[in-house]
């Protein structure tokens, strides 16, 4: 895995020794970030952060703030190691980087309680049935996406359970093998 563009371009991201984590391939990550450009000045949450690969790519492309959300102990260690390798210290005073060692639902709740809203929400959850429905419910319950913000999810091509009541319209979907990239845009304030 490597960073594709920006200030960290071509630098490697440490991958897991086991495959409990399914890192986003460089091809899929490149396609995702091409759809999201420009990122400069954006606030980003990387849910199911795994290695930190997506969040670090966002930082490389000049995102102004990135929050990594991960519950796995091994993954949290890997995120910290990768950030350190890139010279990023989330504990530094005034840092624009934060790691939430948390379940995704708890992170949604916490960020909502803090009154935070973000430009981009990235989610690369395990490819399991029902995960899209759970994320949909969290987005409705805890609206942390800014107006005109993008919610981007990488999910299994077989998990298309987006329901009829997804809070935002789908603006883009692309298939890569058994992976789908699906993007939604918060247009609710503009259309209401």
Query: Is the residue at 5 inside a domain?
Result: no
Query: Is the residue at 50 inside a domain?
Result: yes
CA distances to 25, 63, 156, 164 from 175, rounded to whole Å, are: 13, 26, 9, 21
Note the pLDDT tens digit of each residue in 40-71.
999 999 999 999 999 999 999 999 999 999 99
pLDDT for the residue numbered 103: 96
Query: Is the residue at 129 inside a domain?
Result: yes
Query: Is the residue at 138 inside a domain?
Result: yes
Q: Quick check: 23 and 53 in contact, CB under 8 A? A: yes
Query: Is the residue at 19 inside a domain?
Result: no
Query: Is the residue at 2 inside a domain?
Result: no
Domain span at 147: 28-191
* CATH, residue 103: 3.40.50.150
Total structural domains within the chain: 1
0.75 cut: is pTM over it?
A: yes
Query: Is the residue at 133 inside a domain?
Result: yes
Query: Is the residue at 15 inside a domain?
Result: no
Note the pLDDT tens digit of each residue in 81-124.
999 999 999 988 889 999 999 999 999 999 999 999 999 999 99
């Amino acid at each position: 895995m490597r960073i594709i563009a920006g200030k960290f371009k071509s630098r490697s991201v440490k991958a897991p020794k086991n495959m409990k984590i399914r890192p986003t391939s460089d091809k899929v990550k490149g396609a995702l970030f091409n759809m999201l450009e420009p990122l400069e000045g954006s606030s980003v949450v990387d849910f199911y952060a795994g290695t930190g690969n997506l969040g670090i790519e966002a930082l490389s492309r000049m995102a102004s703030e990135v929050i990594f959300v991960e519950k796995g102990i091994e993954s949290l260690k890997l995120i910290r190691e990768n950030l350190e390798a890139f010279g990023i210290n989330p504990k530094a005073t005034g840092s624009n980087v934060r790691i939430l060692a948390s379940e995704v639902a708890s992170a949604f709740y916490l960020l909502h309680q803090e009154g935070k809203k973000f430009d981009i929400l990235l989610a690369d959850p395990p490819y399991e049935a029902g995960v899209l429905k759970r994320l949909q419910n969290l987005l409705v319950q805890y609206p942390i996406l800014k107006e005109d913000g993008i919610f981007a999810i990488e999910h299994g091509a077989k998990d298309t359970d987006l329901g009829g009541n997804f809070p935002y319209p789908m603006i883009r979907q692309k298939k890569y093998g058994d992976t789908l990239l699906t993007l939604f845009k918060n247009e609710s304030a503009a259309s209401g």
